C-alpha cells in the first residue's frame, strides 16, 4: 500500500470518528438550552406538565450526552494516533485551546451532569436549576474552544515561530482569528436547529401514536416556532460566513462554486458534475455572471479559480456537492418550519401527513451539519493548518493494515451504536412524557385545589 492510500485511510478514519462524534454534541448543545427552558418554566409555574416534559427530554439528553462523551474520548486520542505531526508542529498553539476545552467545558458538563440527571430529589431546587444551566454553559463553552481551534487551523493568526515550532504570540488573536466569529455563530445555530428538529420530530412521532397528548403538541409547537425563527437567521449567517471565507480562504470558495480558472464575470453554477481531470464542469446549469454578482456585488468582478492555488488546491467535487446538500437542506428546514409554525397556530393539531414529515425530518440537522463540516474541512485541504502544515506532513507511521482493521472496528461499533441510539430515542418518544392524555373534565377536576 503506498503512502497516499495510507494517508487517505488515516483521513477516512479521522473523518469518520469526528463525523460520528459531532452528531451528538450537535444535539446536546442545543438541547441543553431547551432543557434549561423547560426546567425554568417548571420552577416558575410549578405545573407538572413542565416537570414531565423536562423528565422525558432529560433522558434523551442523557443518552445523547453519553454518546458524545464516549465518542469524544476517541477524539482525544485520534490527534496522536493519526496525526502525530500536528501536535509536534503546532502543539504550542493547539494544545492550550484543547486543554481549556477539557478543563472548563468537559468537566463542567461531566460533573454537573450527575446532579442534573439524577439529583432532582436530592438537592434544593435552585441547585438543580443551576446545574442544568451550568451543563448548558459547559456544552456551549466546549463548542467555543473547539471552534476557536478549528477556525485557527482554517485562518491562523497571532502566532510566531521558534526553532521550526509554532508558538502563540498573541492569544487573543489566536482565539478571535478572522473566521472564528462566523464559524462559531454558524455552528451554534446549526446545533440549535438540529436539536429543535429532534424535539419537533420526536414530538410529532408521539402525536402520531397518541394524538391527544397535549404535552407533545406543546413541544412540537415550541420546536417549530423556534426553528422558524432560527432557520432564516442561519441562512443569513451562513452567507456572511461564505463572504468571510472568500476573503480569507478563496481556494475553498473556488471549490464551493466549482470555479476552475480565474476570470471576470464568473457564472453561478447551480448544478454540474465537476471534472477534475479536464478541469471543467460537465452538464453545468449556470447563471451567467451570477457568482461574481453574489460574491462581489459586481457582475464583472474577477474571481480566483482553482488554477490560482494549484498544487495546493482542495478537491472540487466533494466540496461542491456537500455545499449544495447543506444549502438544500437548509432551505427545506426553513420551508418546513414555517409551514409547521403556520399549521400549529393557536394550538391546532397538524394533519397526519405533516406529523409524518416532521417525524421523517427528525435528524435532518445531522445531514446539514455533516455536509457543512465536509465543506469546511475538505475545503481546507491539502492543508491541515492553512499555509502552515500540510495534512500529509502530519501523518504518522501507522501502517495501512492497522488503519484498515481499526477502521472496520469503528464502523461496526458505530453502526451498532447509531441503530441502538435511534431506536431508543423513538421508543422513549413514543411512550411520551408519562402524563397520560386525559379527558377535559378529569383535567379540570385535577386542576381544582
Partner 1 sequence: MTLDLPVIFAVLMGVAVLAYVVLDGYDLGVGMLMPAADAREQDVMVSSIGPFWDANETWLVLGVGLLMVAFPAAHGVVLTALYLPVVVMLIGLMLRGVAFELRVKSEGWRRELWNWLFWFGSFVASLAQGLMLGAYITGFEPGFGYFLFSLVVAGGVCGGYVMLGATWLIWRTEGALQRKAIGWTRWGLLWVALGVALVSLATPLASETVRDKWFDFPRTLGLMLLPLASAAAWLWVWRVSGRIQKGGPVPDWAPFAGAVAIYTLAFLGLAYSIFPYVVMDRITIWQAAAHPSSLKVVLIGALIVLPFIIGWTAYVYRVFRGKATGKLYE
**Contact residues for partner 1, defined by CB under 8 A:** 55, 59, 62-63, 65-67, 69-74, 76-77, 79-81, 83-85, 87-88, 91-93, 95-96, 98-100, 102-104, 106-107, 109-115, 117-123, 162, 165, 167-168, 171, 396-398, 402, 406, 409-410, 413, 416-417, 420-421, 424, 427-428
CB of 409 to partner 1, least distance (A): 6
Residue 1 Cα distances to 12, 13, 346, 396, 443, angstroms: 15, 16, 63, 15, 70
- Closer to partner 1 by Cβ: residue 210 or 417: 417
CB atoms within 10 A of CB 138: 23
CB of 44 to partner 1, least distance (A): 22
Question: 3-class SS at 281?
Answer: strand
Q: In angstroms, rounded to a whole number, what is the distance separating the alpha carbons of residues 423 and 425?
A: 5
Q: What is the DSSP secondary structure assignment for residue 280, as one 8-state letter?
A: E
Q: In angstroms, rounded to a whole number, what is the distance separating the alpha carbons of residues 396 and 204?
A: 47
- Closer to partner 1 by Cβ: residue 138 or 379: 138
Asked if residue 26 lies in contact with residue 366, where contact means CB atoms within 8 angstroms, the answer is yes
E strand map for 302-370: 302-303
- Closer to partner 1 by Cβ: residue 110 or 285: 110
- Closer to partner 1 by Cβ: residue 70 or 310: 70
- Closer to partner 1 by Cβ: residue 3 or 76: 76
- Closer to partner 1 by Cβ: residue 251 or 394: 394
Residues 6+ apart with CB under 8 A from 315: 255, 276, 378, 381
CB of 235 to partner 1, least distance (A): 35
CB of 379 to partner 1, least distance (A): 26
Its sign, for the CA torsion 448, 436, 54, 199, is negative
Closest to 182 (Cα-Cα) out of 242, 248, 99: 242
E strand map for 36-183: 159-162, 165-168
- Closer to partner 1 by Cβ: residue 60 or 187: 60
Cell numbers 439524577 correspond to 118
CB atoms within 10 A of CB 92: 15
CB of 310 to partner 1, least distance (A): 30
CB of 298 to partner 1, least distance (A): 44
- Closer to partner 1 by Cβ: residue 112 or 309: 112
- Closer to partner 1 by Cβ: residue 355 or 403: 403
CB atoms within 10 A of CB 121: 6
Angle, CA 193 vertex, CA 59 and CA 433 arms, to 5°: 30
CB of 65 to partner 1, least distance (A): 7
- Closer to partner 1 by Cβ: residue 240 or 402: 402
- Closer to partner 1 by Cβ: residue 286 or 406: 406
CB of 401 to partner 1, least distance (A): 11
Residues 6+ apart with CB under 8 A from 382: 312, 313, 314, 390, 391, 392
CB of 113 to partner 1, least distance (A): 6
CB of 54 to partner 1, least distance (A): 12
Q: In angstroms, rounded to a whole number, what is the distance separating the alpha carbons of residues 94 and 183?
A: 17
Residues 6+ apart with CB under 8 A from 44: none
CB of 327 to partner 1, least distance (A): 33
Judge if the upstream peptide bond of residue 382 is cis by omega within 30 degrees of 0: yes
Q: In angstroms, rounded to a whole number, what is the distance separating the alpha carbons of residues 138 and 107?
A: 8
Pure H helices in 46-83: 48-82
Amino acid at each position: 500500500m503506498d503512502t497516499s492510500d495510507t494517508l487517505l485511510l488515516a483521513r477516512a478514519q479521522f473523518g469518520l470518528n469526528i463525523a460520528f462524534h459531532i452528531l451528538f454534541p450537535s444535539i446536546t448543545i442545543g438541547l441543553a438550552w431547551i432543557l434549561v427552558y423547560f426546567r425554568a418554566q417548571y420552577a416558575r409555574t410549578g405545573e407538572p406538565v413542565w416537570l414531565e416534559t423536562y423528565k422525558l427530554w432529560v433522558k434523551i439528553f442523557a443518552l445523547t450526552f453519553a454518546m458524545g462523551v464516549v465518542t469524544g474520548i476517541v477524539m482525544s486520542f485520534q490527534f496522536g494516533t493519526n496525526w502525530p505531526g500536528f501536535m509536534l508542529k503546532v502543539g504550542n498553539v493547539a494544545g492550550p485551546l484543547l486543554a481549556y476545552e477539557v478543563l472548563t467545558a468537559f468537566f463542567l458538563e461531566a460533573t454537573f451532569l450527575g446532579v442534573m440527571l439524577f439529583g432532582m430529589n436530592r438537592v434544593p431546587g435552585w441547585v438543580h436549576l443551576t446545574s442544568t444551566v451550568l451543563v448548558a454553559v459547559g456544552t456551549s463553552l466546549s463548542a467555543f474552544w473547539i471552534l476557536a481551534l478549528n477556525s485557527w487551523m482554517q485562518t491562523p493568526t497571532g502566532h510566531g515561530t521558534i526553532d521550526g515550532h509554532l508558538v502563540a504570540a498573541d492569544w487573543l488573536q489566536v482565539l478571535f482569528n478572522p473566521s472564528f466569529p462566523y464559524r462559531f455563530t454558524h455552528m451554534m445555530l446549526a446545533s440549535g436547529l438540529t436539536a429543535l428538529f429532534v424535539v419537533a420530530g420526536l414530538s410529532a412521532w408521539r402525536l402520531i401514536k397518541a394524538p391527544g397528548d397535549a404535552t407533545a403538541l406543546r413541544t412540537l409547537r415550541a420546536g417549530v416556532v423556534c426553528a422558524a425563527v432560527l432557520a432564516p437567521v442561519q441562512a443569513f449567517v451562513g452567507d456572511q460566513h461564505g463572504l468571510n471565507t472568500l476573503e480569507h480562504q478563496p481556494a475553498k470558495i473556488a471549490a464551493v462554486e466549482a470555479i476552475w480558472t480565474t476570470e471576470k464575470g464568473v457564472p453561478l453554477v447551480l448544478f454540474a458534475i465537476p471534472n477534475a481531470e479536464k478541469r471543467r464542469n460537465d452538464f453545468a446549469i449556470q447563471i451567467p455572471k451570477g457568482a461574481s454578482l453574489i460574491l462581489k456585488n459586481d457582475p464583472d468582478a474577477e474571481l480566483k479559480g482553482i488554477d490560482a492555488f494549484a498544487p495546493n488546491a482542495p478537491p472540487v467535487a466533494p466540496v461542491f456537492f456537500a455545499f449544495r446538500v447543506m444549502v438544500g437542506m437548509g432551505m427545506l428546514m426553513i420551508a418546513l418550519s414555517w409551514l409547521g409554525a403556520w399549521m400549529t397556530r393557536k394550538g391546532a393539531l397538524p394533519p397526519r401527513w405533516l406529523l409524518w414529515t416532521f417525524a421523517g425530518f427528525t435528524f435532518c440537522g445531522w445531514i446539514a451539519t455533516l455536509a457543512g463540516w465536509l465543506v469546511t474541512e475538505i475545503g481546507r485541504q491539502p492543508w491541515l493548518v492553512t499555509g502552515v502544515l500540510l495534512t500529509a506532513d502530519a501523518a504518522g507511521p501507522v501502517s495501512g493494515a492497522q488503519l484498515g482493521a481499526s477502521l472496520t472496528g469503528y464502523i461496526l461499533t458505530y453502526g451498532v451504536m447509531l441503530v441502538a441510539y435511534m431506536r431508543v430515542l423513538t421508543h422513549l418518544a413514543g411512550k411520551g412524557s408519562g402524563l397520560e392524555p386525559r379527558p377535559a373534565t378529569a383535567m379540570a377536576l385535577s386542576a381544582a385545589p
